[in-house]
Structure 1
Amino acid sequence: MRFIFSVTLLSICSGLLFTSVSSASTNLPVLSDRSSASVSMASEYRLGRNWARMLRGSAPLLNDPLTFHYLEELLWDLAPHSQLSDRRLELILLDNPTFNAFAVPGGVIGVHAGLITAAGSEDELVSVLAHELAHLSQRHFAQRIEEERRNRPLVLAGILASILIAAADTQGGAAALSSTMGASAQAQLTFSRRNEEEADRVGMQTMVAADRDPKAMPQMFSRLQRSYRFYGQRPPEFLLSHPVTEARIADSLNRAETLPNVSHRAYSPEFDIIRTRSEVHLSAQPGEILKRFVADVNSSNPAVAHYGAMQAAMRTGQLDVAKQHFNQLPEPWKRHTYVKLSEIELLLAENDFAQAERRSDEMMALYPDSMPVMKIHAQVMHTSGQPERAIPVYRRLLQDYPTDTDSWYQLAEAEGLTGNIIGVHEARIEYFLLTGNIDSAIQQVTFAKREPNLQPSDLARLEQLEAETLEIRQQIKEDL
């Protein structure tokens, strides 16, 4: 295994290792120093994006356009206020119930869906994102490389493997990560503490600049620490990779107290909508969670209860119940874009394609450039037997979100339904490249070149894709 594969692992883990904090460090790293010069930013970018290909192919992704859009908006709200010099960010949302998030060199931010349900407020969720952005801006990856060259790099391969396993298999990942961390050197711990202190501090500074409450960070730490008692001998994945201590909570709270106050934000339902949506999606017992939301409709927050009941009833196939709870939502919620799109999802579940199309057309007229609106609209066209109308929407989406594996997959399906075989091959090639399945991508190029009646423009595109595929395969071979 190449050395760069080993050091990649701990760099990724720097975002995962919320290690305990002792004394506060006040010095920012010098980006031009020897540690940061160990790997160029261009190399970090390439390495991170190729690692992301492997992650997409190894772990289940949460293809929910509403949740993705919400988290991406939070990231882009933070990024201008961070110390990032390279703001080419990519969000990867994992369909995983564990409490976890990580930052990969090259601007890749990974979020497990379970982290959304773990947060008690939007600012608590934002605090984790700010922390991960700080790891990227301070280039802890480059520092780690230099540190590990002087220590034991072989430990890192086990940690990276554990992260990949944890993303795809929470049980196996927990055991592997626990074993690997138990074998790591004490010297690495001191280095991690320094980076984590800095990520806490820089992350809270970013929050203040973005008008977010920095006290949400210690609040999030406290919430995660309290959750430990519910897991007995085996804590959730987040607590295995992000140890939280009283000292760290106290330290972050003291830091927050020294920062300027931020203005109070008016209530907006986005966090409640997405958190409830994630909670229902991740529930192993949708029938039980439906009962819980129905029992809560007379609580202090009936809108959340009705939306949750609507989502849970859809999961259990009780579409009449879902419709009843949608109708009981307060008007401000019904006017919200996310709830309007949720209604379209309900109409699709009811096979009311005519009404779904009408509502979807209305949303496209109002928000023609909205990612979740386009995704739902393409789904409506595709599901209702109009793939020719879905294809241009998928193509528009992919101009802005070229790494959206779900859109490439759906585009291939839609192209097949319209008889555009070359379009099927091209979309499948892109899908396989994004999921690290290079052999399948090359195979698709070969199949496409065998198609009869290829136009010169078709052949030129295929040759370009073939060259790109071979280049990516060489990069992965060299880097990973």
Structure 2
Amino acid sequence: MLKSLMLGGLLSTMLLFSSSSNAQTDFKLPDLGSSALEVLPIDKEKALGKVMMMQIRGASPLVQDPVLDEYIASLGNKLVANANDVRFPFSFFLINNQAINAFAFYGGHVGIHTGLIAQSDNESQLASVIGHEIAHVTQRHLARRLQYQKDNSALTIAGIVTGILATIIAPDAGMAILSASSTQSTLGQLSHSRKAEQEADRFGMQTLYNAGFDPTQAGEFLTKLSNQVRYQTKPPAFLLTHPLPDTRVSDVRLRAQQYEQRQIQPSHQFNLAKSRVIARYQLESKDAQAFFENELRKSRALNNAHLQYGLAISLLDQKQLDKAEKILSPLLDSEPNNLFYLDVLTDILISQGKASEAVTLLAKQNSLRPNNQILALNYANAAIQAKEYDIAEQTLRVFLLDDPEHLLAKELLAEVYKSNKNQSAYFEAKADVLAEYGAFLKAADEIQRALNHVNDNETVKKTRLKALLKQYRQMQKEVAKL
């Protein structure tokens, strides 16, 4: 029910965005290069990125997994810290999709398909793709494409945004939209895209090396994709938006040879993240169990903890709780502060009806590492299941002070208020969630409902909610100006 409300708001947002964008197509856009800043100023780019992120939340299977979010944000920010021309903070998120794909768009938003993690052989391969996407943003390729298309009487801003969104969800459909919107030949568009790919390869590899990864793995990953093309009638999703001519693989391999060779030890965090993706998002639980049991039989590695971890998740998801706990306990004994393990143990305890034990366990961990999203959100969730709503509310409020746009935290807070029957706070929190999806008119309706549950003598609260109501309505108008 909530999802349908959100989608309704998103559709109205997109219509407003599309109609208002047409007024911008009369401008003569400048040449390529640094002039991209004039095509799309930084503040405008960030605003467009925010609107697109709102729509992605409602139109695609966004992964809300604090453990994977923490891992991918840590990896992404390590790369950003070593990139050139970074003009604003980046954000990284996961899409539940088995296709090998990643994408970047306005405002430093980078999306990664779960299939990319599952199919990467090592962390350097994964980092090479993310670094490539970061380069697309820092080199402002979308702004340049906007200029290029306008010079050829092609896309409106709304058209290119619609195409990018469609490409994220269904890559072949998105490319069709981009092509149908253009009067320029397909060859011309592809040629421009290849130039952008070459530049992203160059800057991305430098970022990869600066961040301490193995640059040769960029070529290994492209070779892997190239080999897949030979045996598939439909190429991997990544190649539909990232052209791969024969020369590109050799160019990337030659460029990697210019860097000093380095031996990279396998990343324990990457291996755990990959196992989690396979167990939760790539395979059905029974199939995942069979996969990890088979891998453990074949494994000769001294450390196969990531395979045991994946097996524990697959058993947990089948409600084989005692078996899952038996596998996980030794792992946690060896690494008592490992957040991957603590998260799964929390789920096991809650499923066993031991939510209070989970609260006790996480209270200490949360005090040692306050506002870590994995600990804070698991702690709050365990407190909700244990009906300790005061603990959950306080934990979430403190966490949201540090990360005020965290969607899962807002959804959990709304659940707290609903559970303890705090009606006005529930409707206000629900409005806050809807606003993250760009459904500002629906959010305004929820604030109106919140006002209906405020007593006449609560003048301060009533004044604040009325101001918030006005703000949401104004935000809808602002979106229409983009």
Identify the TM-score tier after normalising by the shorter chain.
0.7 to 0.9
User: Are the structure 2 counterparts of residues 98 and 443 from structure 1 closer, same or farther at C-alpha, using a change threshold of 3 Å?
Assistant: same
Please say if 1:477 is aligned against 2:480.
yes
Relative to the length of structure 2, the TM-score reads 0.86
Distance (Å, rounded) in 2 between the aligned partners of 1:456 and 1:3: 38
C-alpha distance in 1, partners of 2:149/2:460?
49
- The answer (yes or no) to whether the contact 2:96–2:114 under 8 Å persists in 1 is yes
Using a 3 Å threshold, how does the CA distance of structure 1 residues 313 and 167 change in structure 2: closer, same or farther?
Answer: farther
Partner of 2:150: 149
Which range moves more in the overlay, 246-255 or 289-298? 289-298
User: What runs of 5+ residues in structure 1 fail to find an aligned partner?
Assistant: 9-28
Q: Does 1:457 align with 2:469?
A: no
Over residues 339-398 of structure 1, what are the superposed CA-to-partner deviations in whole Å (9 max), with x where a residue is unaligned? Answer: 122222222222222321222122113212311111111111111211221112112222
Q: Who is 2:79 aligned against?
A: 78
Equivalents in 1 of 2:97, 2:22: separation in Å? 25
Change (3 A) 1:101 1:400: farther
**Counterparts of 1:276 and 1:464, CA distance in 2:** 47
- Note if contact 1:78-1:207 (Cα within 8 Å) is conserved in structure 2: yes
Task: Work out whether 1:119 is the aligned partner of 2:120.
Answer: yes
Q: Taking every aligned residue pair, what percent have the same amino acid on both sides?
A: 25
Taking structure 1 as reference, are residues 109 and 266 closer, same or farther at Cα in structure 2, changes over 3 Å only? same
1:286 maps to 285
Structure 2: state its 5+ residue gaps: 1-17, 26-31
Q: CA RMSD in A?
A: 2.6
Cα separation, 2, equivalents of 1:140 and 1:92: 20
Q: Structure 1: which 4+ aligned runs deviate by more than 3 Å? A: 1-8, 154-168, 177-184, 227-230, 264-268, 327-335
Contact 2:78 2:211 in 1 (8 A): yes
| Separation of aligned partners in 2, 1:126 and 1:47 | 26
* Change in CA separation of 1:319 and 1:227 when aligned onto 2, cut-off 3 Å: farther
1:205 aligns with 2:171: no
Comparing 328-337 and 143-152, the one that deviates more: 328-337
- Per the alignment, residue 13 of structure 2 pairs with none
2:311 corresponds to 1:314? no
Q: Cα deviation per residue 1:51-96 (whole Å; 9 max; x = unaligned)?
A: 1111112122211100000001112111221123323222232222
Partner of 1:24: none
Give aligned pairs, total: 451
**C-alpha displacement of 1:238:** 2.4
CA distance in 1, matches of 2:411, 2:284: 29
| Change beyond 3 A, Cα 1:196–1:6 | farther
Partner Cα distance (1:310, 1:397) in 2: 29
SS at match of 1:111: strand
Instruction: Look up the match of 2:369.
Output: 367
Q: Which residue in 2 is equivalent to 1:53? A: 54
> Residue by residue, what CA displacement relative to the aligned partner does 1:160-205 show, whole Å, maximum 9, x if unpaired?
445535655xxxx255235446656322222211111111111111
C-alpha distance after superposition, 1:200-231 (max 9, x if no partner):
1111111122122222211221222333456x
User: Which residues of 2 match residues 256-335 of structure 1 at below 5 A?
Assistant: 256-262=256-262, 264-298=263-297, 299-301=299-301, 302-327=304-329, 329=331, 332-333=334-335, 335=337
Instruction: Quickly say closer, same or farther: Cα 1:462–1:296, change in 2 above 3 A.
Output: same
Question: Compared with structure 1, are the counterparts of its residues 461 and 111 closer, same or farther at alpha carbon in structure 2 (3 Å cutoff)?
Answer: farther
Q: Is this contact kept in 1: 2:118–2:282, CA < 8 A?
A: no
- The CA distance in 1 between the partners of 2:192 and 2:201, in whole Å, is 14
Equivalent position of 1:235 in the other structure: 235
Secondary structure of the 2:103 match is strand
Find the aligned partners of 1:257 and 1:312 in 2 and give their Cα distance: 41
Counterpart position of 2:470: 467
Partner Cα distance (1:405, 1:99) in 2 = 25
Q: Deviations over 1:118-139 (max 9, x none)?
A: 2111111111111111111112
Structure 1 counterpart SS, 2:190: helix
Aligned with 2:174 (options 174, 177, 182): 177
Gap change, CA 1:308 and 1:382, over 3 Å in 2: same
SS of equivalent residue, structure 1 residue 103? strand
TM-score between the two structures when normalised by the length of structure 1: 0.86
Q: Secondary structure of 1:258's match?
A: coil
The question of whether the paired residues in 2 share the 8 Å contact of 1:297 and 1:303 is answered with: no
Does the C-alpha gap of structure 1 residues 235 and 85 become closer, same or farther in structure 2, counting only changes over 3 Å?
closer
CA–CA distance in structure 1, aligned partners of residues 472 and 217 of structure 2: 44
Query: Matched residue of 1:225: which SS?
Result: helix
State the 1:250 CA deviation. 0.8
Separation in structure 2 between the aligned mates of residue 307 and residue 229 of structure 1, nearest angstrom:
34
Q: Structure 1 CA distance, aligned partners of 2:322 and 2:228?
A: 36
SS of the residue corresponding to residue 402 of structure 1 reads coil
Output the amino acid matched with 2:437.
Answer: T
> Cα–Cα, structure 1 residues 76 and 3, in superposed 2: closer, same or farther, change >3 Å?
same
CA contact (8 A) 2:312 2:323 kept: yes
1:7-39 residue CA offsets vs partner (Å, 9 max, x unmatched): 99xxxxxxxxxxxxxxxxxxxx753x3x33122
Matched residue, 2:402:
400
Could you tell me how far apart the structure 2 residues matched to 1:140 and 1:175 are?
A: 20
- CA displacement at 1:157 relative to structure 2: 6.0
Cross-structure match for 1:108: 109
AA in 2 matched with 1:388: D
Shift of 1:234: 3.0
Is the 2:20–2:481 contact (alpha carbons within 8 Å) kept by the matching residues of 1? no
- Equivalent residue runs for 1:347-386 within 5 Å: 347-386=349-388
Q: Contact 2:197–2:243 at 8 Å: present in 1 too?
A: no
The alpha-carbon deviation at position 6 of structure 1 amounts to 12
Distance (Å, rounded) in 2 between the aligned partners of 1:464 and 1:456: 12
CA contact (8 A) 1:60 1:167 kept: no
Letter in 2 for 1:270: Q
Superposed displacement of residue 158, structure 1: 6.5
Tell me the CA shift for residue 256 of structure 1: 1.3
- SS of the equivalent of 2:215 reads coil
Q: CA deviation at 1:324?
A: 2.6
